[in-house]
Amino acid sequence: MSSLNLDTFVAVPLPIELYAELTRRYPGCVSSVIEQVSWDFLDRTAEDLEAATRGSSGVYWESLFLPEGTEIRTKYFNEYKVATIQNEEIIWNGESYPSMSQLAKSMRGDTSNNAWKVLEVKRPSDAKWQLADFLRK
- Structure confidence by residue, pLDDT tens digits, 26-68: 888 888 888 888 888 887 777 666 655 555 789 999 988 899 9
DSSP state of 26: S
Return d(Cα 37, Cα 35) in angstroms, integer.
Answer: 6
1 found inside a domain: no
Question: Do 80 and 128 have their domain in common?
Answer: yes
Return d(Cα 115, Cα 137) in angstroms, integer.
Answer: 15
Question: Do 46 and 80 have their domain in common?
Answer: no
Dihedral sign (CA 109, 114, 115, 118): negative
Question: Do 32 and 89 have their domain in common?
Answer: no
Number of domains observed in the structure of the chain: 2
3 found inside a domain: no
Question: Do 73 and 100 have their domain in common?
Answer: yes
Dihedral sign (CA 44, 85, 75, 109): positive
pLDDT tier at 6 (50, 70, 90 boundaries)?
low
Domain with 42, as residue range(s), is 16-53
User: pTM (2 decimals)?
Assistant: 0.61
